[in-house]
Amino acid sequence: EANKKLISDLERLEPFGCANESPKFIVEDATLVKPPAILKERHTRLTVFSQGTIKPVIFFNRPDVYKALHKAQDANFDLAARVVKNEWQGSVSIELRGIDLRIRDNK
């Protein structure tokens, strides 16, 4: 689960770079809580539900994710992401930075 303790543990592994890449996580069998949003015509924002948890996900420079999810029509999916602390306008939250997505065959 992506929480403050995980963020604290990840911060102990820093600094990240070429020789020490930040960890990637898999979110399996996720569903959309609400329709995806496209931001500035190139970023895709999702709110996903998986294993009892709802989390925001942002895919930077990935409008194809938005298109794929619309085409998939409510299919479940798996995604690869990095867990990051998002500090914006004085508030701190935990966010997933999407790397890739795979639509599941829900037949």
Query: In this predicted model, what pLDDT tens digit does every residue of 29-63 receive, in sequence order?
Result: 999 999 999 999 999 999 999 989 898 999 999 99
Share of the chain above pLDDT 90, in %: 51
The pTM is what?
Answer: 0.81
**How many structural domains are present in the chain?**
1
Question: What's the pLDDT at 107?
Answer: 56
Query: What's the rounded Cα separation, in Å, for the pair 31 and 74?
Result: 7
Q: Is the dihedral of CA 99, 61, 104, 56 positive or negative?
A: positive
- DSSP E strands, 1-107: 25-32, 37-39, 43-50, 53-59, 77-88, 91-103
| CATH number of domain containing 87 | 2.40.50.460
User: Which residues constitute the domain of residue 26?
Assistant: 4-103
